[in-house]
Amino acid sequence: MADGGLARVLSKQTFDPENFVNKVSQGGEDELDEMQKKIQRLADETALALKRNVYKHYSQFIETAKEISILESEMYQLSHMLTDQKSIISTMLEMSLTSEEVVTPGEMELELPTEDDVQSSLSILLEKVEGCSSMLEAPGRHLVHDGDLLELDPESLSPIRELRAFLLNDVLMLAAWLPHRRGLVKYRFQSLYELDNLAIVNAKDTGSMKNAFKILMFPDTRTFQADSPKAKRQWLDKFEETKKKKTARDKQRKDATTPDRSSITSPLDSSNPFTVDLEPSSPVSSDRPQSVAIEADLLHLPWLQELPEDLDVCIAQRNFEGAVDLIEKANDYLDGCPKSAAIREYRGRIEHRIQQLTEILMKELQISPERSIRGGPRAARRAVTQLIRLGRSAQACELFLKNRSTLSKYSLRQVKIEGNTALYVKKLCELFFNTMAETCQEFIKAFPDHFGCHAAFVVWAKQEINEFLSTFKSQVFVNKTPFAVVSDCVQEMRKCCDQLSDIGVELTFVLDCLMAEDIEKAIQDAGDNQMDAVRHRAMEDNWLPMNFQNVTALQQFENSMINLGIKNIHKYTFGECFTELTQNTIQFTKSYLPFLDAMMTIYSSQHHRLITAAFVDILEAQIRHAQVCARDTKFTKEVV
């Protein structure tokens, strides 16, 4: 089956995949391999056709936008002509009444800026905008127009941010206002767009959107609002005028860099009778055409000329890996080229695409309300990997950890509050520390050789632990929570945290330090409650053997004491329902032994002194009560 026939078969609406696979598999392994190759060729051809169509349609869209912009410009020029005529008539009327000299329109035109003015404007631009020094190093680049613009949301038309726009002779630079200014610096560089890839379109005044225009840049569209109709008209005119000048300048440069092969004749060509032996040319006159030709050959390779457009297509198709591959290929090639103005300009075009790709990859890691936040860390690894390849490992690390923080908080909010505190806290701990372990494993895979990012991960992990403890403490360390529940919750959290040690992250000591004060307060309160119970029982003690009234109750008592660890309780019973222990002793035993277990569950070396003191003080208080009872007249040999 030919590739064309295969395409028709696969594109039919009645295509049955299972039936197709069954027929192909009947031919054996060779036919399966052949069909796989055909399908792969068809997939490659389809991808290539899609790429060409995307670029073709976008180019047509840009051309249409340019035509619209030309018509818009002609309308504004007509309006300017009418305004000038009106001004001339007014001037002539004033002259006829006051006998003043008429000022011609030519005399009213402003003088063109000199080279010093251009350098002065660039110096001021460097002082006011942070992070734009590398963008202004291109030879011949100068400022044409600038002003404040308000960016609007393309759909809701709501204000997004205030920007300062700078139109240079070959690019458009956008800068954001700094909230905290530092000296002369007022703005921070945000983005840079080449004029070749821009189209400006006038926007009609609708509702709250007035004095607005749209700038089309592949593959996005941004809407801006000017302060007044006059400011908007200036932006539209300056855009159109600057683009026309740049187009003419590029054409002249292209003609200049294309050497005229017919005019270069070898002096050794004896077939030309008009050839005259000349003196060797000077180095300047001989090297210049040669360097121009070499530079033209370097930049006019087919793949190099198509690379900016190929990058645009890869970005539009979200083929981030392919885009980074192209960037690395271009950088490797340009690193071996001699430094020249044309090479620097071409690098600027590539840097613009790199910045655009970086912004898109960073948005992949940012979680916004309109995007789903159910993706795991593997979904972010793709963007992280490409950012690292682009040399943005610090930004990738920061955004990756912020992404994981948001996902962790979202997951914790989904846990339903249980009536049982211990069960609810167990679910929280398991979910939180499992997320931490998963994040750590993915972080190691994404940043294997970036040890500086590992330090950032440790700082992030400590912050996450601190925020989690705020939720943990609000559920556990409250006045009405039994001490046994507190100890179980702390033990569960330590156990979950110990699982991180298996993958190289030890955070148990951080937990103990952050919970030290709360645990000490819980131990102190539990010890005080035990002391109060001992004093209260001592006041009501009658020092008599305990009568359980029946054999069943006595059996239940014995089982409960065995569960507490007293295996020889049978030695202290007599008769059918009596025990030699008093009610005070039984209640103390049932209270003190669980207290011991809870203390040992929550035990750590830094709380050793406090726990030991609580054990001793409570036991001494009970012993003192027994000594007082032993000296009391109510104590008799029969009672013992």
Residue 301: what pLDDT? 76
Strand, coil or helix: 268: coil
Strands ordered across the beta sheet of 171-182: 129-130, 185-194, 171-182, 159-168, 143-152, 220-225, 212-217, 198-202
Cβ-Cβ contacts under 8 Å for 238 (sequence gap 6 or more) = 144, 145, 167
As separate numbers, helices (DSSP H) first and strands (DSSP E) second, the chain gives 19, 11
Greater pLDDT, 578 or 72? 578
The HSE-up count of residue 623 (CA atoms within 13 Å, CB side) is 6
pLDDT at 279 over 60: no
Identify the bridge partners of residue 360 per DSSP, sorted by sequence position.
none
Residue 69: what pLDDT? 66
Q: Mean pLDDT over residues 1-13, rounded?
A: 73
CA distances from 607 to 160, 287, 513, 602 (A): 54, 83, 11, 9
The band of 218, judged by pLDDT with boundaries at 50, 70 and 90, is: low
Identify the bridge partners of residue 209 per DSSP, sorted by sequence position.
206
Length of the chain: 640
Q: CA 61, 356, 443 angle in degrees (round to 5)?
A: 140
Q: What is the pLDDT of residues 92-110, one digit of tens each?
A: 665 544 444 444 444 333 3
Helix 393-413 × helix 421-446 angle, to 10°: 160
CA–CA separation, 525 and 533 (whole Å):
12
Q: Mean pLDDT over residues 176-181, rounded?
A: 78
**Token pair 């159910």 in the structure block, residue:** 374
Phi first, then psi: give them for residue 224, nearest 5 degrees: -130, 150
Residue 396: what pLDDT? 87
Residue 111: what pLDDT? 42
**Cβ pair 170, 141 in contact under 8 A:** yes
Mean pLDDT lowest among 325-329, 341-345, 405-409, 468-472: 341-345
Q: What is the pLDDT of residues 514-551, one digit of tens each?
A: 888 988 988 988 889 888 988 888 887 777 788 888 88
Q: What is the pLDDT of residues 230-272, one digit of tens each?
A: 888 888 888 888 888 888 877 776 666 555 444 434 443 444 4
Q: Mean pLDDT over residues 489-509, rounded?
A: 85
Residue 192: what pLDDT? 79
Q: Which of 165, 157, 162, 161 is nearest to 210 (CA)?
A: 157
Residue 25: what pLDDT? 80
Q: What is the pLDDT of residues 48-93, one digit of tens each?
A: 888 888 777 776 777 777 777 677 767 767 776 777 777 777 666 6
The band of 378, judged by pLDDT with boundaries at 50, 70 and 90, is: low
pLDDT at 432 over 50: yes
Phi first, then psi: give them for residue 138, nearest 5 degrees: -65, 135
pLDDT at 506 over 70: yes
The band of 113, judged by pLDDT with boundaries at 50, 70 and 90, is: low
Greater pLDDT, 547 or 140? 547
Q: Mean pLDDT over residues 155-170, rounded?
A: 85
Q: Mean pLDDT over residues 293-310, rounded?
A: 71
Q: Mean pLDDT over residues 561-566, rounded?
A: 86
CA–CA separation, 161 and 142 (whole Å):
26
CA–CA separation, 573 and 571 (whole Å):
6
Please provide the distance, in angstroms rounded to a whole number, between the alpha carbons at the two ends of the chain. 105
The helix or strand, by DSSP H or E, that contains position 411, with its residue range, turns out to be helix 393-413
**Cβ pair 63, 195 in contact under 8 A:** no
Greater pLDDT, 617 or 25? 617
Residue 606: what pLDDT? 85
* DSSP string over 371-392: S-----HHHHHHHHHHHHHTT-
Strand, coil or helix: 366: coil
**What is the average pLDDT value for the chain, to the nearest integer?**
78
pLDDT at 425 over 60: yes
pLDDT at 591 over 50: yes
The band of 393, judged by pLDDT with boundaries at 50, 70 and 90, is: confident
How does DSSP classify residue 501? Answer: G
Percentage of the chain exceeding pLDDT 70: 80
Residue 110: what pLDDT? 36
Peptide bond connecting 219 to the previous residue in cis, omega within 30 degrees of 0: yes
pLDDT at 430 over 70: yes
**Token pair 């007249």 in the structure block, residue:** 633
The helix or strand, by DSSP H or E, that contains position 144, with its residue range, turns out to be strand 143-152
**Residue 333 is encoded by which pair of tokens?**
């090639």
